[in-house]
Structure 1
C-alpha cells in the first residue's frame, strides 16, 4: 500500500529518526505512534507503551502515514524479550513480527487487533460476537518466553544472486540469507535447504507433511536456468514450476503429500493449500463442527473447499441421507478433493469461483454452510447470496480479521448474527491469526 500524498512538493523521509511514544497495536504487525508534528508512524519492532527511536523505512513529506522501525529502545515494555532468532530485527527477515514479545503478550496483541477490527468494520464488541477476548495457542505451542515453537510445515525460501537460500526482508524483494529458520517444523529443517547452493533458482519451497513422512521441494528456476544437482539430507520428491505455463511438473517422487485431519487422510498436490501449522487442520475442524452441530440428513455447503477438509468432516457427520457440495476454483485442488472424498456418494465438488458457481447450482436453501475464503474475504455479493439460503448455522473460517469483520457486517445486514467467535494463534511469532465465527439467523437469538 502506497502512502497517500498531498499536492505540495514532497521529499523522501527514509532514514529520518524520531523519538516517539508508542501507542496501540495495529493490524499488520506494527504499532501506531505520532511524530511531534502529528504525523502517523506505523512502527515495527516496538510494543505499546514503549519510548523508542523510530527510523523511517518508507514514506514522504505530506504522506498520510510513514512506516518505521524501532532502532533504539529508550523505555522498554515489561512484555519485551530479546528476540530468540538471530535474523530478526530492523532491516532483517520479515517473516516474524513479534519475536521481541513474550508469547502471552503476542496473543494479547492479536486479540486487541481482532477486537479493534470487529468494532471498526462490523460494529461489534467482543461480547456481541460471543467472544471472551482469548486467543488460544495451538496444542504444544504454550512455551516459556524465549522458546520458539517450530510449527511451519511449509517454508518458501527466496534465493539471492549468489545461490543462497533465505527469506525476504519486510516489504522488500531483498533476501536475508539464513542458516536456520527457528519456526520451521523439524521435517523442513531436516531437508537442510539453507546449506545448499541454489544458483539459478528464484525460490525453493520446502514442505514437510504433518500427516505422513512425505517431504517435497518445489523449485522455481530463473528464466533459462537448469535445475541444480542437489543431494538433500533425506529422501524427498522434487517438483519444478514451469517457465512457460507456471504449472508444477514432477522431477522425481510423488506429485503430492499426504496429510491427516479428523481421522482421514488427504492428498494435497504440489503447491496446493493445506494449513501450515501441524495442529491447525484438526483445531479448525473441531471448532467448525462444534459450532455447526451437523445432523444426519443435513444439506451442507463447503465454499472455497480446497482439497476437501471441511467437506470430508461434514460428510462423515451428515451421513448417507445428507449431502455436501464443495466449490473450489483451483483445478488441482478440485482433483484432489474428488479423490479424497471419492468414498462419499453424496458429496459433489464443483470447480470455479464461488460467486459464479453458487448461483448456477440452483440451490435455494441449505442447512449448513462452511466458508474459508482467501485473505480478501468473501465479499458483499457472496455474503448476500449465502444469507438468502436460510442456513441454520454458518461457519466462517478467516485468516484475516479485517476481511472477517467486513463480511460479518454484510451478514448482519442480511439477517445473521454472530453466535460465537473463537480465535487461534496458529501462526506464532507473526501477526497472523485464525478465526472461526459461527453465525445463525438473528431472529433465533432475539
Structure 2
C-alpha cells in the first residue's frame, strides 16, 4: 500500500484518544487526528504514515465546527506547530470532558471498571487555561535561540508565545543567544523569584572533561555546577514537548521511552545559573522547601498543595502507625503523613534522586521519625520488612509503578493505598495490578493540572 502522507482526507471525527487526538476512520484504516473535536467534519492532512492499521493527521480546515470550539488561545500549537496545547481551541469545560472520556475509556478497557469520571480544575484555578506553569524546559537550536520542539520532532520552534507559563517567566528569553544544543530551565518560585539555568549539551560536557578544561562561568560570573541532570519524576508536556517517532503507545513502548528519558536525565551534564540563585523556594501546607530550579517540582502553581491536601485526607494515618511514601521526591507527601503519625509513628520515604533526598532532609529536619532515603523503589520494595505499613502513597513516573512494585506493595498488605499517576494508560495498568492483588477502588479523582493539553493527573484510593 502506498503512503498516505500529505493526502487530504474528509473525516468525521469520533471520540478522543489518549494522546491529544480524535479517532476517525477512512477506507478501513484508523486516523488519529489532532486539532479537531468529536463530531466535527474536517479536512485533515496526513502527517505521518508508516503503513499498518493507522496513520496520523492534522485537521487543517474545520468544515462543521463543534459548539465547544473557541478561538485557539495558543498561537504556536496548531498544525505544523508545537505539541504544547493540544486543546487550546476548546472551552475549558470541553477540555475537561475530553480528558474525562479518555480516563474512563482506559479504566474500562484495562481494568473493567465502568464509572463516570469528572476532571476537576486544580483547587482555586477554575477555568483558567493559561498562566499556570512555573517550570519550563526549553530547547536551544543551532543558532542559540531558545524555543520549543515541534510536535513529534526534534526541530525547534523559536516562537515563545505559549500561554502556559506564569506572567514574566519567559520575558527577555527570546532576545538572548544561548549555547547551541543546550537546554534552558526557567523556574518561578513561590517567592516570585525567577531562576534561569542553562544545561549544557552532553557533547560539550564530555569535551570539557576530555580536554581537562575548567568549568565555564555563566553570565554575571555565576559558577557552573556539574550535576546528573533533573532527576526524579519528570512532568509531561513541557511547552512543545512530545515523543519523537511513531511507535504506538503500548505499555512496552511507553516503558522503553521512559527508560530512554531516564537515561538522558541521569547523564552527567554541566549546569550554570544565568539568573537568580538556582535555588527555588517552594511552600506547601505551611512548610518551605529550597530545591534546585532545574530539578523536579510540580509544574502547575497550585498542584503540590492540591495533591498534598488530598493525600492527607485519604491517607488518614493513625497516630503511632507506619506509612510509606514511594517515589517521594523532596517529601511533600511524607511530611503530611509524618504529621499524622506523630513522633510515636514512622514514615519511610524513598526517592532515587540524591539531590531531592538532600533537599527533603533539610526541609524536614524537625520530623526525625520521617526517614527519607535514597534508592530505587523497584529494588527496595522486594527486601524484607519488619513493620506492616498502614498506608502506602505512590507517585511514580509517567510509565507507572509496574508489576514488581505494585506486587510488593500489595504483599505488604497496607490498609489503604493512595496512587497518583499523570498518564491514564499507565495509571489504569497499575490499578489493574492492585485489583488482581485483592484491593478495590474506593475513590478516584482527576485534576486538570495541565490545562489546554491532553494531560491529566489521576489519584486513586484503594482499600482491602
TM-score where L is the length of structure 2 = 0.84
- Structure 2's unaligned 5+ residue stretches are 206-214, 230-265
| Partner SS, residue 439 of structure 1 | strand
**Equivalent residue for 1:246, pick from 268, 276, 289:** 268
**Residue 59 of structure 1, CA deviation:** 1.1
Q: Please state if 1:27 is matched with 2:18.
A: yes
24, 40, 45: which is aligned to 1:50?
Answer: 40
Q: Report the equivalent of 1:221.
A: 200
Q: Distance in 1 between matches of 2:222 and 2:134?
A: 14
Partner of 2:241: none
Aligned to 1:418: 441
Displacement after TM superposition at 1:245 (Å): 5.7
Q: Is 1:403 aligned to 2:394, yes or no?
A: no
Structure 1 unpaired stretches of 5+: 1-9, 127-131, 442-446
* 1:171 aligned residue: 152
Relative to structure 1, the CA distance from residue 308 to residue 229 in structure 2 (aligned partners, 3 Å threshold; closer, same or farther) is: closer
Partner of 2:118: 134
Question: In structure 1, what is the equivalent of residue 166 of structure 2?
Answer: 185
| Distance in 2 between residues matched to 1:139 and 1:428, nearest whole Å | 13
Equivalent in the alignment of 2:252: none
Kept in 2, the 8 Å contact 1:179–1:195? The answer is no
Given that 1:25 and 1:112 are in contact with CA atoms closer than 8 Å, whether structure 2 keeps it comes out as yes
Contact 1:220 1:241 in 2 (8 A): no
* Length, aligned pairs only: 417
List structure 1 runs of 4+ shifted beyond 6 angstroms: 225-229, 235-244
The question of 1:376 aligning with 2:399 is answered yes
Aligned residue for 1:194, secondary structure, equals coil
* 2:446 and 2:457 in contact (8 A); partners too: yes
For 2:6 and 2:387, how far apart are their aligned partners in 1? 58
1:224-249, Cα deviation, whole Å (9 max, x unpaired) = 49979758xxx999867689962454
Cα displacement (A) at 1:217: 1.5
For 2:24 and 2:7, locate their aligned partners in 1 and report how far apart those are by CA, in whole Å.
15
Q: Output the CA distance in 2 between the equivalents of 1:83 and 1:238.
A: 40
Task: Report which stretch shifted further, 342-351 or 105-114.
Answer: 342-351
Q: Say whether the 8 Å CA contact 1:201–1:220 is kept in structure 2.
A: no
Distance in 2, matches of 1:157 and 1:329, equals 24
Residue 312 of structure 1 aligns to a residue whose secondary structure is: helix
Matches within 5 A, 1:324-403: 324-360=347-383, 362-363=385-386, 365-403=388-426
In the other structure, the counterpart of 1:152 is: 133
Contact 1:425 1:433 in 2 (8 A): yes
Q: 2:88 aligns with which of 99, 102, 106?
A: 99
Using CA pairs below 8 Å that are at least 6 residues apart, which structure has the higher relative contact order? 2
**How has the CA–CA distance of structure 1 residues 227 and 13 changed in structure 2, closer, same or farther, with 3 Å as cutoff?**
farther
> Equivalents in 2 of 1:81, 1:169: separation in Å?
23
**Whole-Å Cα distance in 2 between the matches of residues 412 and 85 of structure 1?**
40
Larger displacement relative to structure 2 (134-143 or 159-168)? 134-143
What is aligned with 1:200? 180
Cα distance, 1:339–1:310 mapped onto 2, change above 3 Å: same
- Quick check: 2:186–2:293 contact (8 Å CA) kept in 1? no
Q: SS where residue 404 of structure 1 aligns? A: helix
- The 8 Å contact of residues 98 and 430 in structure 1, kept in 2 or not, is answered as yes
Q: Deviations over 1:70-95 (max 9, x none)?
A: 01111111111111222121001111
Equivalent residues in 2 for 1:283-302 (5 A)?
A: 283-302=306-325
Contact 1:141–1:149 under 8 Å retained in 2: no
User: 3-state SS of the aligned residue for 2:136?
Assistant: strand
Q: What CA deviation, in whole Å up to 9, does each residue of 1:93-141 have, x standing for no partner? A: 1111001111100000000000000001111012xxxxx5221112443
Shift of 1:276: 0.6
Q: In structure 2, how many angstroms separate the alpha carbons of the residues matched to 1:76 and 1:237?
A: 54
Q: 2:287 aligns with which of 264, 279, 282?
A: 264
Corresponding residue of 1:279: 302
TM-score (norm: length of structure 1): 0.88
Deviations 1:283-314 (A, max 9, x none): 00111111122221120000000111111111
Cα gap change, 1:227 to 1:48, in 2 (>3 Å): farther
Query: Per the alignment, do residues 370 and 248 of structure 1 end up closer, same or farther by CA in structure 2, a change over 3 Å counting?
Result: farther
Are 1:53 and 1:70, in contact at CA under 8 Å, matched by a contact in 2? yes
Q: Which residue of 1 aligns with 2:209?
A: none
CA distance in 2 between partners of 1:46 and 1:237 (Å): 47
Contact 1:239-1:270 at 8 Å conserved across structures: no
> 1:376: how far off?
0.7
